Amino acid sequence: MPAELSGSLTGMHWAILVMVALFVGMSKTGIYGLGMLAAPLLAGIFGGKISAGLLLPMLSMADIIAVIYYNRHASWSHLRRLFPFAALGIIAAIWVGAVINDSTFKILMGIFILGGIPVMIWRERMRNTRALPANWWTGSFFGVTGGFSTMIGNTAGPIMSLYLLAMQMPKNVLIGTGAWFFLVVNLFKIPFHILVWETITLRSFSINLVMLPVIITGGFLGIRLVRIIPEKPFRWLIIIMTTLASVRLFF
């Protein structure tokens, strides 16, 4: 049975929370895909929607760390295309999340992640291909789907990884652009979690604050590791970790 935040947490619950916080910090500073393991880990003990509200402030804390370190590498031309459509996707997801049950909520997380993986693999295996066109049509599609999926369980990582990889950005620009996207989008989502879904409470936020030192530690670990990961293995690491995380959501 999912643990209720209003009750006392066991040692196992705290161990999962520490693991999630470490993964979140590492993923936001370069180890893409690792953070996607956070959603199924939390959903397994707290339930889908509650875990989404518990995870969001931790992601926002890590976003700040990532933006501080990688902000000079962001591609604002891409971000300007994404933000308006991401807002539309978030608003649509708010309604959907209000009418589906928790089991469907978790399955929906997995569907969104798995849907992008074949395309990611195809793009990585094809050589000497052009990047996807950097226009408003591309931005609108990935913006809406990214916004929808990030509201449904904070699972936009694979979708945005697919978009950024398809733009054929250098590694640091990819990380910096993703960091700014998720910081702005996650802060935009917080009021809806508090006022509409009521999944962020004083109790849940107090747990987030306890996890802040672990998130910071994970952030520094991610910075160190991304410096030594070559470009090609780095891209395949994204795909492998994304696949593992998405399959876990169905069990």
Domain-by-domain residue ranges, the chain?
Answer: 11-248
Q: Is the pLDDT of residue 9 over 60?
A: yes
- In this predicted structure, what is the pLDDT of residue 1? 41
CA angle 137, 139, 140 (to 5 degrees): 65
Q: Is the pLDDT of residue 22 over 60?
A: yes
Q: State the Cα–Cα distance between residues 145 and 132, nearest whole angstrom.
A: 16
Q: Is the pLDDT of residue 129 over 60?
A: no
Quick one: average pLDDT of 93-121? Answer: 80
Note the pLDDT tens digit of each residue in 145-195.
889 989 987 878 777 877 887 777 777 788 788 889 999 999 999 999 999
Q: Is the pLDDT of residue 72 over 70?
A: yes
Tokens 């066109």 correspond to what residue?
133
243: nearest Cα among 119, 133, 89, 70: 119
- Most distant pair of Cα atoms in the chain: their distance: 55
Quick one: average pLDDT of 95-103? Answer: 87
88: nearest Cα among 188, 166, 175, 161: 188
Quick one: average pLDDT of 223-239? Answer: 74
Quick one: average pLDDT of 218-239? Answer: 77
Mean pLDDT across the chain, nearest whole number? 82
Quick one: average pLDDT of 118-126? Answer: 65
Higher pLDDT, 123 or 205: 205
- The pTM assigned to this predicted structure is 0.84
Using a pLDDT cut of 70, give the percent of the chain over it: 85
Per-residue confidence band for 119, with pLDDT thresholds at 50, 70 and 90: low
Q: State the Cα–Cα distance between residues 180 and 239, nearest whole angstrom.
A: 21
